[in-house]
Amino acid sequence: MRALLLFFSIFQFATSLNILVYVLCLGQSHLDFMDSIVDTLVDRGHTVDVLMGKANSLVKSNGTKKVRRRFIYGYHTDCPWSKIPHLLNPFEKTPRNYDGHKVFENISSAVCEIGLSDPELYKWMSQEKYDLGVLSDYEFCGLAIFEQYGIKTKASVSALPLMDHQSILLGLPNSASVTHALFDVEDLSTIFGRFFNLLRWTNNYYNMHAYFSRKQAEIIHKYLDSSMNLDELARNYDIVFVNANELVERPRPISHKVKYIGGINMKPPKPVNPELDKIMSISTSGVVIFSFGTQVKSSTFSPEIRKSFANAFRKFPDYTFIWKYEKQPGDEKIFGNTTNLHFLNWLPQTDILTDSVPFWIEIEFLEWIQSVSVDMCSSLIVRTGQLSKLLIFGNSNKKWESPSLEFNKQYKESI
């Protein structure tokens, strides 16, 4: 009799949820991150549909194949994202201004309107009822759609560390003397750094966030319930997942809703292929992994820039450099004498990271904190228990420095 009761009680705990995941596709790394969320949910027995707003037509993938249904709207061919100044001219210093956020906000708002103006979206949404909504927390469009169709339980996900607008919506205190703005890092050890950080946060609250909320509300209220208070809906998220590890995050006030999931995008490591293993075994001093991420095209590197990198690599003949790079016309002449440099079209980051590499270098390009950097750092903590392999440098004040500090200094001086 007890065995029979136990058998029937199992079904009370084995509950499968019907889940809708909203993805604002900004880049391949962002899509890969959201795919990891979807795969994790499906592997645990849940049914997942995906609603995707495509802001970047350079991303050709539509995501994981594990989903049941998928609806995609947005830019499928040419898009404004590929014309963002720092992607068109990655080595030309772009002055930071207090209206720079409008580029992203205008693109994401345009994608939102493309979706909300499509009658097929409403037909697709009406075909299912959902127990849970999981959405990219970069704007309000997915949140408004979830609310319109009665998805009461909502979880937000970011492929980045906790963003400024998230902290504002959660009501977290953002003291200018303690809390950095995510993309505009100031030196808070000085009074000038704290002053400029105060200006950053003032801009975040009264310019950036206010502008974005107003612009998105105009579009959303045009197609959906005009009484929606988007800020209030975002404040009422049940849980907020961020792609960071609390061991490497800066100290800051936090909410009990915020959960750190840094490293979730790391796949189980495999042995590196024989060709790559041979390359990594050439040098006894170390291997340097050199990458600008997935959004910067190699074709934007001028011959002068490529020559500068080639000269810098040659100054360290005892090290092997592996560069994620698509070869360009004229590279045979530019890199012909750089015998310690090897090109790869794609880097198996997890496999290399768990190998016996002395250290890792990733460029934090133009202070954009890529999700891959967070995942790599989290993976080092989770898988190897150390940060000594990691060396990240760039034009940001935020650095994790390994014992190879002298190499870092010499390398930057060479460039």
Q: Residue 413 has what pLDDT?
A: 52
In a domain, 8, yes or no: no
Alpha-carbon distances, residue 351 vs 93, 206, 266 (angstroms): 34, 44, 10
pLDDT tens digits, residue range 308-364? 989 999 998 888 888 888 888 888 889 988 999 998 887 777 677 665 444 444 443
The pLDDT of residue 354 is 63
Pairing of strands 70-74, 239-242: unpaired
Nearest to 360 by CA among 299, 318, 403: 403
Look at residue 237 and tell me if it is in a domain.
yes
- What is the reported pLDDT for 281? 83
Q: Exposed (0-12), middle (13-18) or buried (19+): which is 221, by Cβ within 10 Å?
A: middle
The mean pLDDT of the chain is: 79
Q: What is the pLDDT of residues 97-130, one digit of tens each?
A: 677 678 888 899 999 999 999 999 999 999 999 9
pLDDT number for residue 361? 45
- Which of 260, 282, 311 terminates a domain? The answer is 260
Residue 8 is predicted with a pLDDT of 44
Residues 6+ apart with CB under 8 A from 263: 245, 375, 378, 379, 381, 382
Are 292 and 185 members of one domain?
A: no
Final residue before a domain boundary, out of 237, 260, 283: 260
Q: What residues contact residue 212 under an 8 Å CB cut-off, 6+ apart? A: 101, 105, 139, 165
Instruction: Give me the mean pLDDT over the 31-54 stretch.
Output: 93
pLDDT at 388: 40
In a domain, 3, yes or no: no
Domains contained in the chain, number: 2
**pLDDT recorded at residue 96:** 67
What tens digit of pLDDT does each residue of 50-71 get? 999 999 888 888 889 999 999 9
**3-class secondary-structure state, position 27:** coil
Q: Which domain holds residue 100?
A: 14-260
Residue 386, pLDDT above cutoff 60: no
Residue 240 lies in a domain: yes
The whole-model pTM stands at 0.77
In the prediction, which pLDDT does 353 show?
Answer: 67
Between 17 and 101, whose confidence is greater? Answer: 17
pLDDT for residue 265 is more than 50: yes
Structural domain contains residue 9: no
Q: If pLDDT is split at 50, 70 and 90, which confidence band does 39 have?
A: very high
In this prediction, residues 183-187 reach a mean pLDDT of 80
DSSP H helix total and E strand total for the chain: 16, 12
Here the CATH number for the domain that contains residue 281 is 3.40.50
